Structure 1
Amino acid sequence: MPEPGPLFWFTSFADVKAPFYAIRFDKFGELASPKTVAELVKRLESNDFTDVIVCAHGWNNIWKDALANYKGFIDRLAEIHARTGVRPTRPYRPLVIGVFWPSTSLVLPWEQGPRIAGQGGGDAEVLDEWEVDDQSVVAESVAPGDLAEFYELSEADTLDAAGARRLAELLLSAAGDGEDELPTAATETTVEDVLDTWREYSQPNAAGKVAPGRGGRRVPADEDPDAAAEAGREDAGAPVAAGAPDLDPRAVLRLFTVRTMKDRAGKVGVRGVGDLLRRTMAAAHGAHFHLVGHSYGARVLLNAVARPDGGPLPPVRSLLLLQPAVNHLCFAEELAELGGAPGGYRAALDRVEQPVLTTFTRHDFPLRKVFHHALFRPGDIGEILVAGDDDPPPSIYAALGGYGPRRIPPSPSVTMKEPAGAPAEADFYDLTKAAPQVTAINGTALISGHGDVITTATAWALLNLLLAE
């Protein structure tokens, strides 16, 4: 059996060799790489490293896809170093930690490996092509005595009013309450909430251009439902009235799968990555910690920073959120929807020394058109909202990576920057003490889809954080 240690070494600028550690967690947030972490802590205690970069994925199909994207991001940093000559003015000896957590069984349609490696667009085109077994994912939380009934209802082509209500009851009893994300809300989700959201999501325009029917047929967002019906596509395009009996169980299973992923990311952050940060920060003798999270990986890191088990951590140096699948109100100062409580990740801002950088784009189909249909528990409010351009979010549950942050005055939006050809021409982000705590980066011109984040532009944002004094 190989000795624990770095998974590989890479070359930083100035030909400095740097180690990459792969740290695994299970779906409960328990550490699955204890020997590797022990060796990592010992290496950090040597005081050889000035900067520790911690990355968290949200889109790995399998291990090799997540690893390939971590390597790709490191390569983009090296490319910028070579092209621009931009260097830190202080000593810089980095170590990179890649967090691996089990999203394999929860691959969302916009998070499939072959679609995300810089291909950009096409998010809408894969929405019908679910490779995840939603039924088995949700069944993990169903009471054993209810499983037979759950399978019978969830495998039906459509459900009448009574069947839909019973499936909603079973799903609600199996669902987590989001307690890892926000304080307990004043109200609880009801069966009617589930049914209302199910019906809304079943509308042809609810998910942009895709109806969730079994046929996977498409209905343009601006198409008249009556015209669709006349064309013989009632099952894919006709809206479901409030009292209509026919509902596709796959639609609600998809929504609950998204919720399961959300809660799992919270557990991994609170219980697993929070403890990892506590141990490595104590061992690293004042090294700067820089956190980078994509999609649900942003949720992992925000939970680790804002509410780790064992109490507050020392502040991390920086936090870069790439197309975060969290609520656009997560940094809000006050939420009337939660009795005046702050956004669920407001506390994280006080645990990050530099301004938080977070990207959003109009091209992120799932975070702009789908995500808010899945997160309808009161406890989800304020944990998933961020907006920065001129269009309002479609729902209080809208995603940060689709719309940018709101209710955090001042909340400026800046156009995403690209690295120039020489240090004198470089266009830097404002990371001075006068800068706001959160800067929304409008990546519409450079980020072409939810998974299009392994680029020189995103690496340039991280390099800015590494360079800042």
Structure 2
Amino acid sequence: MADPGMSVTPYWELTFDADGDPDGAERDRLLREVTGHGVRDLIVFAHGWNNDRSGATALYRHFFAPIPELAPKARIGYVGVIWPSMRFCDEPIPDFPRPTAAVAAEPGATPVPALDKDTRHALLETFPGRATVVDQIARMLDQRPANELEHFGRLVRQLVEVVPGGPQPLFAADTLAEGVPQSEPVLFTGGTTALCEEFAHTLTALRQGAGAAEFALADPWDGAKELLRQATYYAMKRRGGTVGERGLGPVIGQLAGAAPAVRVHLVGHSFGGRLVSFALRGLPDGVHTVKSVTLLQGAFSHYAFAARLPQDGRTSGVLHGQENRIDGPLVCCYSHFDEALGTLYPLASRMADDSQSIAGTDAEGMLDVGRLLGVKWGAMGHDGVQAVPDTQSLDLAGALRGPLAAAGCVNVDAAAVVKNGGPPAGAHSDIVHPELARVVLAAGRIA
């Protein structure tokens, strides 16, 4: 179907709620129309932290734009997945208009509330029914009351908690210890003051350059907003798994029944990478129409597909073996310029039983969170799939020369193009490049 605001056609959207329930009319339209459009290859893209439909569709419009010229003979259809995620509006995205909050945060600008209007709106939309909690959090961030950080932490945890008995708690873990999902991160169990101190020091280091900041005393309130940011992103990570397994996976199964000749190619950015990966776990038995999966700066554990973790042989990745559901490769694009995943992700992802602190552990007294915590708590989008035997490793030029492995996992160092963006996220959202569109086509053997 044509969309006047989209750069490609035919284009469909699939919208899911937080529990993975699809918009039935959109799903049925896709199932009904895809064959009539003569589609052979269907690229299904799931966004990461975008706070509304317009932000997601802008990403799809830009990313899809070069594909028709890159594969002029291919019969390609496009799907944009819309799911209830969010991002903080002070995070600039390379090549997109700068958000008002980011401009207001520059030195010399007129002081603004710690939570800008758009971010507050995004929180209210993402966590409905929590308006009072959001108001209290915003007020505390502005006032910074003495000796109240622990109360602030309780409010943050209250904001992102899910309804008991609902499906989302089942999708939070990236690893399993003897078959049991690992405990919650220290983000939800540790002392708020200590966590905010660590975030404050880390943010200072990111702003001054990697490894350039000494670990010195700082106002813990400087890290309080980052605690809120990481808590909401943990909720998005949990939600992405839910939507993938309970929502997108079953829809792909229905598509296989309605249009069995259509080859499906899943693409996910950030938590959208977790979403499309969990969709593999939600595929009905006997469905073999997924021909490739491409992860762009995937925001989940680099051990998610591992049979055993190097540091703990009793622990496996929650998606171990799911790459075998793909009739083709799982391609993971990563970049060391992604500061969100290289530094803040491992800091926030430590489990409740991990007591390692970042304070004073660097031999030179310098702060390098990624080096200290990244091996154990690192993310796909920072260093690729880990501990999966026979994983192919390529730089971007090598991936574009090809061929990619026909099956299994493929790591692609995309730092040659994924390199722009300031703190705190770095290059996390710098994914709109024709080279990455070419990787998607190569992964799916689309020509």
TM category (shorter chain) comes to: 0.7 to 0.9
Distance 1:136 1:319, change over 3 A: closer
Report if the CA contact (8 A) 1:292-1:321 is conserved.
Answer: yes
Q: Does 1:402 align with 2:382?
A: yes
Q: Does 1:438 align with 2:409?
A: yes
Aligned partner letter, 2:229 = R
Aligned-pair distance for 1:270? 2.4
Report if the CA contact (8 A) 2:295-2:331 is conserved.
Answer: yes
Distance 1:301 1:324 in 2: 10
Partner of residue 434, structure 2: 456
Q: Does 1:165 align with 2:146?
A: no
Q: Deviations over 1:42-80 (max 9, x none)?
A: 223559332221111114354333223212222222333
Q: Does 1:72 align with 2:62?
A: yes
Distance 2:414 2:229 in 1: 28
Partner of residue 205, structure 1: 202
Instruction: Note the residue ranges of structure 1 that are not aligned, 5 or more in a row.
Output: 13-17, 211-217, 227-237, 381-389, 420-425
Report which stretch shifted further, 445-454 or 61-70.
61-70
Partner of residue 133, structure 1: 120
Partner of residue 363, structure 2: none
Distance 1:135 1:298, change over 3 A: closer
Distance 1:441 1:118 in 2: 28
Q: Deviations over 1:188-245 (max 9, x none)?
A: 56765253761453342367424xxxxxxx687423456xxxxxxxxxxx257xxxx8
Structure having the higher Rg: 1
Q: Does 1:319 align with 2:290?
A: no
Distance 1:353 1:259 in 2: 30
Identity of aligned residues (%): 20
Report if the CA contact (8 A) 1:118-1:453 is conserved.
Answer: no
Distance 2:90 2:329 in 1: 28
Q: Deviations over 1:77-121 (max 9, x none)?
A: 233347xxxx6xxxx422211111233xx2136864x535499xx
Q: Does 1:270 align with 2:245?
A: yes
Distance 1:134 1:339, change over 3 A: farther
Distance 1:342 1:109 in 2: 35
Partner of residue 411, structure 1: 391
- 3-state SS of paired residue (2:248): helix
Aligned-pair distance for 1:453? 1.5
Aligned-pair distance for 1:444? 1.4
How well do the aligned residues superpose, as a CA RMSD in angstroms? 4.2
Partner of residue 351, structure 1: 325
- 3-state SS of paired residue (2:405): coil
- What are the residue-to-residue correspondences of 1:107-186 with 2, within 5 Å? 107-108=87-88, 112=92, 115-117=94-96, 132-133=119-120, 136=123, 140=127, 156-160=143-147, 163-172=148-157, 175=161, 178-182=169-173, 184-185=180-181
Partner of residue 386, structure 1: none
Partner of residue 78, structure 2: 96
Distance 1:220 1:46, change over 3 A: closer
Report if the CA contact (8 A) 1:186-1:338 is conserved.
Answer: no
Aligned-pair distance for 1:300? 1.3
Distance 1:417 1:56 in 2: 25
- 3-state SS of paired residue (2:397): coil
Q: Does 1:58 align with 2:48?
A: yes
- 3-state SS of paired residue (2:57): helix
Distance 1:415 1:280 in 2: 34
Q: Deviations over 1:10-63 (max 9, x none)?
A: 898xxxxx511122223333223x223222212235593322211111143543
Instruction: Note the residue ranges of structure 2 that are not aligned, 5 or more in a row.
Output: 107-113, 163-167, 355-369, 420-426
Report if the CA contact (8 A) 1:150-1:167 is conserved.
Answer: yes
Aligned partner letter, 1:454 = V
Q: Does 1:42 align with 2:32?
A: yes
